[in-house]
């Protein structure tokens, strides 16, 4: 109990996961962020004393999610199982799924992921030298921003279709000029409506004019790509309506120009969220059943993630 108190950890529930690999323990916890905000997190550990290599997973979409949602990226039990999480669950790695605050886009969200990374560093059952960051969409944005902020504290980072890697382009880009003019109409429509909502929210938080300029420069992954010093894997798709591959590729190019270690899987048919492999991710509900080609791309994505993490988390 003294150890748990020293970790500033509040345990809410310990349960044997019904569908997890034998012997694994799934624990709902709270982790304090840098400003003291209590963050929901779920830790899935293999049997044994450890210390275990750890994969920190970060969900997409809005923040402020409940434990039931956060569990979906820590364990294959429960609703909307992810084949990628099932793959992680079969490994000898711990999985820590972290929730992040709501309503702080281009704000302090990455502080919450940094808090999860620092929690792993303090937990003696987890291997502080072998920690990977894995996020998709909004979560992909946050794991890359965390990598920019934390140097080599993590061993590697995996970003699935990272959202808004260039906030200046996303919020102010001209839809009549490349690369935005090269996007499909559905992407333009999605991005336009998202942009309007984002700008309204940022303005309500007092971020406009020079203040917004400063935040855009600071939070731009593309602009700060050279500061991602750990190996990175990007998973993108030409078929992604929400985060078209062409919007992420300049960040990849900037990392390569800086001599950083970058691996990329770009597929052709899959929609947003293919790296998790779940039903209903992104705009899937409007796209109909997954095709054999899309299912094959998802399987390829899992194989690439597993190979990358195995290399990253080996001794």
Mean pLDDT of 13-40: 77
Residue 40, CB half-sphere, CA atoms under 13 Å: how many?
A: 17
- The domain limits of the chain are 2-313
Which architecture characterizes domain 2-313 according to CATH? 3-Layer(aba) Sandwich (3.40)
Q: Which of 9-13, 80-84, 141-145, 265-269 has the lowest mean pLDDT?
A: 9-13
Write the CA distances from 116 to 48, 131, 278, integer angstroms.
22, 11, 24
Mean pLDDT of 96-115: 96
- pLDDT of 92 strictly over 60: yes
Question: What's the pTM?
Answer: 0.92
User: Tell me, what's the pLDDT at 79?
Assistant: 66
User: Tell me, what's the pLDDT at 77?
Assistant: 79
Q: Which of 75-79, 90-94, 210-214 has the lowest mean pLDDT?
A: 75-79
Q: Which of 103-112, 186-195, 210-219, 274-283 has the lowest mean pLDDT?
A: 274-283
- pLDDT of 1 strictly over 50: no
Residues 100 and 58: beta-carbon distance below 8 Å: yes
| DSSP-derived secondary structure for 87-144 | HHHTTT-EEEEE---SS-TTTTHHHHHHHHHHHHHH-TTEEEEEEEEEEETHHHHHHH
pLDDT digits (tens, 9 = 90+) for 144-172: 999 999 999 999 999 999 999 999 999 99
- pLDDT of 95 strictly over 50: yes
Q: Where are the beta strands (DSSP E) in 255-304?
A: 262-267
- pLDDT of 12 strictly over 70: no
């Amino acid at each position: 109990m003294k150890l748990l108190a020293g970790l500033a950890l509040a345990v809410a529930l310990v349960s044997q996961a019904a569908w997890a690999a034998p012997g694994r323990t799934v624990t709902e916890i709270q982790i304090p962020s840098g400003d003291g905000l209590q963050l929901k997190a779920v830790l899935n550990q293999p049997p044994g004393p450890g210390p275990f290599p750890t994969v920190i997973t970060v969900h997409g979409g809005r923040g402020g999610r409940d434990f039931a949602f956060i569990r979906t990226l820590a364990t294959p039990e429960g609703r909307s199982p992810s084949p990628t999480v099932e793959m992680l669950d079969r490994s000898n790695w711990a999985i820590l799924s972290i929730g992040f605050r709501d309503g702080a886009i281009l704000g302090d969200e990455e502080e919450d992921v940094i808090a999860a990374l620092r929690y792993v560093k303090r937990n003696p059952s987890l291997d502080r030298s072998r920690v990977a960051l894995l996020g998709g969409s909004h979560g992909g944005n946050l794991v890359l921003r965390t990598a920019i902020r934390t140097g080599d504290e993590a061993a590697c980072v995996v970003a699935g279709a990272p959202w808004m890697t260039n906030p200046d382009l996303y919020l102010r880009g001209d839809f009549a000029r490349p690369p935005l003019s090269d996007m499909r109409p559905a992407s333009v429509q999605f991005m336009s409506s998202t942009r309007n909502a984002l700008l309204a929210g940022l303005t309500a938080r007092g971020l406009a004019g020079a203040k917004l300029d400063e935040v855009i420069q600071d939070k731009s992954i593309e602009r700060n790509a050279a500061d991602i010093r750990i190996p990175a894997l990007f998973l993108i798709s030409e078929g992604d309506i929400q985060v078209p591959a062409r919007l992420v590729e300049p960040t990849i190019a900037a990392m390569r120009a800086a001599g950083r270690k970058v691996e990329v899987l770009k597929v052709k048919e899959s929609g947003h969220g293919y790296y998790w492999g779940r039903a209903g991710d992104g705009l899937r509900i409007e796209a109909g059943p997954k095709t054999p080609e899309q299912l094959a791309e998802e399987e390829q994505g899992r194989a690439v993630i597993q190979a990358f993490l195995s290399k990253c988390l080996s001794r």
